[in-house]
Homo-oligomer: A and B are copies of this chain.
Amino acid sequence: MAFDFQIIESDGVTAARAGRLTTPHGAVDTPVFMPVGTQATVKALTPEQVAGAGAKIILANTYHLFLRPGAEVVAGAGGLHGFMNWDGPLLTDSGGFQVFSLADSRKVSEDGVTFRSHIDGSKQILTPETSIEVQHALGADIIMAFDECSAYPSERAYAEEALARTTRWLARCVDEHNRSGDKDRQALFGIMQGGAYHDLRRRSAEEITAHDLPGYAIGGLAVGEPKDVMYDMLDDCVDLLPRDRPRYLMGVGSPDDILEAVARGVDMFDCVIPTREARHGDAMTARGRINIKNARFERDYGPLDAECDCYTCRNYTRAYLRHLFKAGEMLSATLLSLHNIRFLTRLMERVRASIKDGSFTKLKADLLFYYYGARK
């Protein structure tokens, strides 16, 4: 049994659940946060540093790797695991979201999407079949269906069209994976779309769950809508996905969004927030976000976060981290990224433990209160 998902404990009050997702490269306790290694590296960190920060599974971006270095180069190294020196579970997205958010001169047809590379302007095409082929070559444990993500806000007509195409493309992804894939090696997840329209979300859920897949994702949220819209959609959406399969909310990584989504039954998250914010000097701490550039840290010889057990907090002061940042030293990105990832993996550890001992609702309230202070 290469792939498996077991729910270990369900929260009595909310829809939160603690589980375990098994993959060919190891098991992952859920709810889980997955750091993003867009170009086959979590920015500024070695895989050992990523693992040291408590991460068990990394996401990589098919769109970026398809364009550079190309699927053949990665396949020549025996796939992404060997290429990037990460022996744990990996997930690749399908390129769908990036084609819609990054590429130039995009043209969508029933066949797929033609676009110009944001790197060199070259003309490229991604279809459900090529996305799956590329993801086969990359070899991640979990691969994603090629979808069309409607932006927020979207007219109902377009959201409906995008979800319908996503449904048709899913059938082609499933066919391609059946034809040329290895289901013991790679699990294909489907993606729900439907914009901010409850009935469209319901329709999308029904259509994607018509395929018996090892997992399902919620796409098209965290794309610019207000948080209350996202939570309102999640109120409905999550429950539409099978209870016995992992549910993955794509692109979400802020502590409040994670906690609200876990409460609604989501198991998996990914986001560039911890590493991107780190590169801007922002550190997530138990008392909220701080920016290490701030002059008040010039002679602050305490750790970034007194409650944190990460390498950075055990060994470096705010004064040193501020110095590194002000001096333009790359090590600041490394040390803050490592800390921010650890902040989120530790958050998930506490979430999992609280689901098991029945204290999730209290933990959620406490974490939101301390992290956001008066803001919530």
Contact = CB atoms under 8 A, between A and B. Distances in A.
A326 B40 CA distance: 12
B327 A330 contact: no
Interface in A22-80: 39-41, 43-46, 64, 68-69, 72-73, 76-77
A323 B84 CA distance: 10
Interface residues of A, number: 37
B333 A330 contact: yes
Interface stretch (A192-200, A225-233, A311-319): A311-319
A324 interface: yes
Contacts of A44: 330-331, 334
B84 A330 contact: no
Number of identical protomers = 2
A68 B301 contact: no
Contact of A68 (B40, B43, B323, B334): B323
Contact of A39 (B40, B311, B317, B327): B327
A298 B43 contact: no
A319 B85 contact: no
Contacts of A319: 69, 73, 76-77, 83
Nearest to A70: B298
Interface in A256-270: none
Contacts of A76: 299, 301, 319
A84 B335 CA distance: 12
A329 interface: yes
A320 interface: yes
Interface in A300-350: 301, 311, 315-317, 319-320, 322-324, 326-327, 329-331, 333-335
Interface in A214-270: none
B73 A315 contact: no
Contacts of A43: 329-331
A40 B327 CA distance: 10
19 contacts: A39-B323, A39-B324, A39-B327, A41-B324, A41-B329, A41-B331, A43-B331, A45-B331, A46-B311, A64-B327, A68-B327, A69-B319, A69-B327, A77-B319, A83-B319, A83-B320, A85-B316, A330-B330, A334-B334
Given A39-B323, A85-B315, 20 more contacts: A39-B327, A41-B329, A43-B331, A46-B331, A46-B334, A46-B335, A68-B323, A68-B326, A68-B327, A69-B322, A69-B323, A72-B299, A73-B323, A76-B319, A77-B320, A83-B323, A85-B316, A85-B320, A330-B333, A330-B334
